[in-house]
Amino acid sequence: MAMVIVGVLLLVLKLTAVSVVAQWSWWAVLAPFMLAIVWWHWADTSGWTKRREMEKLDARKQERREKNLVALGLDVKSRRKR
For 26, residues 6+ apart whose C-beta sits below 8 A from its C-beta are 14
Instruction: Count the domains in the chain.
Output: 2
Integer angstrom CA distances of residue 66 from 21, 33, 58, 74, 82? 54, 43, 12, 9, 18
In this structure, the answer to whether residues 41 and 8 fall within a common structural domain is: yes
The whole domain housing 66 covers: 47-82
| pTM of the shown model | 0.61
In this structure, the answer to whether residues 36 and 59 fall within a common structural domain is: no
In this structure, the answer to whether residues 52 and 73 fall within a common structural domain is: yes
Residue 13 to residue 31: CA distance in whole angstroms = 14
In this structure, the answer to whether residues 10 and 37 fall within a common structural domain is: yes
In this structure, the answer to whether residues 62 and 30 fall within a common structural domain is: no
In this structure, the answer to whether residues 37 and 58 fall within a common structural domain is: no
Per-residue pLDDT reduced to its tens digit, 23-32 = 999 999 999 9
Per-residue pLDDT reduced to its tens digit, 10-24 = 999 999 998 888 899
In this structure, the answer to whether residues 27 and 41 fall within a common structural domain is: yes
